[in-house]
Amino acid sequence: MAKKRTSDKSFAEVMASVEPEEGTDPAAGRLSPASAGELVDRQGRLWTKNRGPLDARLTRRLVRGADEMIIGEGAGEVLRPVPADGREEAWALIKEGLDTPESGRFRAFDFRSGDGRVLLYVEEFC
C-alpha cells in the first residue's frame, strides 16, 4: 500500500511562494471565474467553464492530468498558477477542504480553452 504523502509546508506557505497573476485586482468588483464561467490567464488565453464543482476523485485526476492549474484565492480575486512540480503538494493541502458537508473551503472546476487545453481551477473561500 502506498504511503500517504504529507507536506512540511502549510497551505499559506505554499500559496505565498507562488506569484499572483498580473492584473488581478480585488477591487475590480467582478464575478469569480467560477461564477462568471470564464477566466483569462496571464498568457491571455480564454478558458471557459466546462463542469464543476468537481468531486475529489475528478479533482485528483485533473491535478495530475490538466494542462494548467490555477488557485483563485478569495473567491477568485487573486489568481495563482500552480507549477507542475507543485501540484501534488497543493493537492495534499486542498483535498480535505473540497466542498463537502463537513468542509467547504475549496471548490474545483474544469475549464477548457478554444484549442482543447484543460485547466483545473480551484477556488478558495475564506
Per-residue pLDDT tens digits for 15-69 = 666 666 554 454 455 788 989 999 999 899 999 999 999 999 999 999 999 999 9
Band (pLDDT 50/70/90 cuts) for residue 123 is very high
61-80: average pLDDT = 92
Q: Which pLDDT value is given to residue 126?
A: 65
Q: Around 37, how many Cα atoms within 13 Å sit in the side-chain half-sphere? A: 2
* Nearest residue to 83 (alpha-carbon basis) of 39, 26, 17: 17
Per the CB < 8 A criterion, the answer to whether 122 and 71 are in contact is yes
Say whether pLDDT at 118 is over 90: yes
Residue 105 has pLDDT above 90, yes or no: no
Q: What is the mean pLDDT of residues 10-14?
A: 64
pLDDT score for 76:
82
What's the whole-model pTM score?
0.75
DSSP letter assigned to residue 18 = S
Specify the higher pLDDT residue, 120 or 34: 120
* Confidence grade of residue 6 (pLDDT, cut at 50, 70, 90): low
